[in-house]
């Protein structure tokens, strides 16, 4: 008779897990995010494996802060890499934490510790929250790169009165203005040409935006297009909108003290982002805000 071997199950533990929809008040119209709680003992490899498994644009992991000024620490992963900062994960993680019962150190204000440092997040009207846009490095494209960009677009829609720039606030975007929101929505750039330009300009993706005119649903329509291995369109993107807000200030193209952006229209979403400039203090600040709704609330086995 063959011997029987007892199989000892691998030790596991269960922690809280949420999947939320960011930059929307309507479920399934924003940008989804997975949030894993109590992740302090997870290795980088484990976090990356979980992010690959959720198969969302980003998954975040909540940890105890190492900076006493912070309420919490977060690590942010795509399916293939870790990011030092991203916008919709910032708002989505804050929402998940607050909904779990966490009481901020200061009422109406959170401080997130992440790869770019400390990021303040403040309460806004009607349950919205807004994060302070991190400092950004801005670099103009050279003439050859501008020509390459125009050729990749395949049409004369770029508004070069606002020169395209690489804007890096933790995620490097190539921010480009076109003549109208309709031009933005209709854009179908050559992917091979854009992949080459992304590599040459040191950017992750294209943040293309165009203004609305009469009876506008927002001030701008924005699309965040990724090329190369990812080859997709991001539904609603906090870091891209933060990059846009920063570039508008640098180029003296602010549409006012505040404005709104719609994103995701081209792929059936309806993301809404509010951007506000605060120049009343000695240190000017730009706030990127929106709502978040919870879709899944449960646990995950680690």
263 neighbors 288 (Cβ within 8 angstroms): no
Which residues, 6+ apart, have CB-to-CB distance to 55 below 8 Å? 79
205 neighbors 227 (Cβ within 8 angstroms): yes
158 neighbors 164 (Cβ within 8 angstroms): yes
Count of other CB atoms within 10 angstroms of residue 123: 16
Distance CA 179, CA 239 (A): 22
209 neighbors 243 (Cβ within 8 angstroms): no
**Long-range contacts, 43-51 (Cβ 8 Å, 24+):** 44/82, 46/302, 47/75, 47/77, 47/82, 48/77, 48/82, 50/77, 50/300, 50/302, 51/77, 51/78, 51/79
Helix axes 87-99, 238-250, angle to 10 degrees: 130
Distance CA 95, CA 290 (A): 11
Would you call 58 a catalytic residue per the annotation?
yes
Of the candidates 58, 99, 125, 230, the residue annotated as catalytic is 58
C-alpha dihedral sign at 228, 230, 231, 236: negative
**Residues designated as active site:** 58
């Amino acid at each position: 008779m063959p011997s029987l071997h007892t199989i000892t199950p691998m030790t596991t533990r269960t922690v809280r897990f949420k999947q939320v929809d960011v930059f929307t008040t309507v479920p399934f119209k924003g940008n989804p995010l997975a949030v894993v709680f109590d992740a302090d003992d997870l290795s980088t490899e484990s976090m990356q494996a979980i992010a690959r498994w959720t198969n969302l644009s980003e998954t975040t992991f909540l940890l105890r802060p190492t900076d006493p000024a912070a309420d919490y620490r977060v690590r942010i992963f795509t399916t293939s890499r870790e990011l030092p900062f991203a916008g919709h994960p910032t708002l989505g993680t804050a929402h998940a934490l607050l909904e779990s019962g966490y009481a901020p150190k200061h009422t109406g204000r959170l401080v997130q510790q992440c790869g770019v440092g400390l990021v303040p997040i403040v309460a806004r009207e009607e349950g919205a929250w807004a994060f302070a846009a991190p400092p950004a490095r801005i670099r103009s494209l050279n003439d050859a790169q501008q020509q390459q960009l125009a050729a990749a677009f395949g049409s004369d829609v770029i508004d070069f009165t606002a020169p395209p720039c690489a804007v890096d606030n933790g995620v490097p975007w190539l921010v480009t203005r076109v003549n109208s929101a309709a031009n933005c929505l209709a854009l179908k750039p050559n992917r091979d040409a854009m992949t080459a330009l992304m590599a040459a300009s040191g950017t992750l993706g294209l943040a293309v935006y165009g203004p609305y005119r009469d009876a506008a649903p927002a001030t701008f329509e924005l699309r965040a297009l990724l090329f190369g291995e990812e080859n997709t369109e991001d539904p609603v993107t906090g870091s891209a909108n933060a990059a846009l807000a920063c570039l508008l200030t640098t180029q003296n193209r602010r549409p006012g003290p505040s404005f709104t952006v719609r994103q995701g229209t081209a792929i059936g979403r309806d993301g809404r982002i509010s951007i506000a400039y605060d120049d009343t203090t000695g240190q000017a600040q730009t706030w990127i805000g929106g709502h978040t709704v919870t879709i899944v609330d449960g646990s995950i086995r680690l």
